[in-house]
Each structure stands twice: as C-alpha cells, then as structure tokens.
Chains A and B, each alone.
Chain A
C-alpha cells in the first residue's frame, strides 16, 4: 500500500529562522510529488510538483527538492504569513490518485 509520511508534525519557528520539512514516501510508480499549503478553514492550495530525483522548485521563500525516497520543503527566512499546514502528496497515476501525508503544521512567530 502506498504510504506518505511527513515530519515533524508541528514546527514552531522564529521569524527569519530557516528550517526544512520532510516528506518520505513508499509508493509504486511515483509519477509526481506534490506540495500543498493549507490555511485554517480552507482547502489545500497547490505549491509545487516534482517529477524526478534531483529536481528543485522555488517560490519566494520556499524551495522543494526530491530524492528517490523523500522530498524536502526548505523555508528560508520565514515570515508569520508562512504559517500554515504543509501537505505533501504522491501521485501514482491510475485516475489521478494522490496519496497525502498528514502534514506539518508550521507556526512562524515574530
């Protein structure tokens, strides 16, 4: 069975304190690794797709990387508005099926 695990479950950072979130996956036939951001009371919002090991994508203070077994979301000099739950998901095709991890709840404080 496909499995996606995220760590840590929760992370508290001071503004400007860089860190990384981890997403490890065990799936059959990975076709893409997705990162989403979810704010309280809202649906997940797409951030990145990574397709092959070694690939990197960046958006503002976020950078996502991918290896054969895991993905990292690096947050550089975070701001309070980066506070959210970050979800990763493995796409294995077969009807556009995404297997989500349980997320990392990030809180950035002043």
Chain B
C-alpha cells in the first residue's frame, strides 16, 4: 500500500496547455503539501493545506491552483503552462504534530515543450 501516491508519474505537454496532478494519502494525516524540485535538486514548498484549509502559499504564480476536496487529497492544477514550469513536483503529507517529518510521494516529472 503506497502511503502517498501521485499521478501521473510523467507529464509531457506543450506551452500554454492546462494540466492537473493528483495526490492522495492513506496515512490519516491532516496536512498535505506541494513541493517543487528544480533541475539542481532544490526542493521548495509551494503550498500546504491543513484539513482542507490553505495554510502556506509561497510566492507561486496564480497559474498554480491547489484544490483539496477532502483531507486525504490535494490536487494541483496548472494553467497556461510555461517552459519554466518544467520540474519535478512532489506531494507530501504530515501529522499536525509531525514537526517537519514529511512523507513524500514519488513525484511527477513535468516537461513543458
């Protein structure tokens, strides 16, 4: 049983398209996150949700919109994709008192052509 699963694993698309990445966790955690990892392996937080409520929204373009239908799911929708959006996107979850102990999904490699 995969604890944090995200789909798709690979996403190749053209500039200007709209795409979504889905994430689900079966750990019973209340907090979920989206992280972006660039080509230099730098991992940066984009959003965090606690029990469906947005907690952290780093300086991310408005084209990125997270949606949490319930506390086990956090999806990421990206409008008008740009070349610079190419990266690996990771979903993660933690307990409220996890203090930074995150459980990550296996990532979605997004390539914008």
Contacts and interface: CB of A to CB of B under 8 A. Distances in A.
Interface of A: 31-32, 34, 38, 41-46, 49, 85, 87, 89, 91, 95-98, 100, 102-103, 105
Contacts of B106: 41-43
A8 B42 CA distance: 14
10 contacts: A31-B99, A32-B99, A34-B100, A44-B43, A44-B102, A91-B99, A96-B33, A96-B94, A97-B56, A100-B44
Measured as residues with beta carbon below 8 angstroms from the partner, the interface class of chain B is: 20 to 34
Interface string B89-113: 0101010101111111111000000
Nearest to B100: A91
Contacts of A100: 42-44
B100 A98 contact: yes
Contacts of A89: 43, 100
B55 interface: yes
Contact of A95 (B43, B56, B104, B105): B56
Contacts of A105: 41
Contacts of B42: 100, 102
Nearest to B38: A102
| Main secondary structure on B side of the interface with A | strand
A49 B56 contact: no
A37 to B, nearest CB: 11
B35 to A, nearest CB: 8
Q: Which of A31, A42, A43, A102 has the most CB of B within 10 A?
A: A43
Interface in B15-50: 31, 33, 40-45, 48, 50
Given A31-B99, A44-B90, A49-B99, 10 more contacts: A32-B99, A43-B4, A45-B104, A46-B101, A89-B43, A96-B31, A96-B100, A97-B56, A98-B100, A102-B41
Given A42-B107, A43-B106, A49 B101 contact: yes
B41 A49 contact: no
Contact of A85 (B41, B50, B90, B102): B41
Given A42-B107, A97-B56, A102 B40 contact: yes
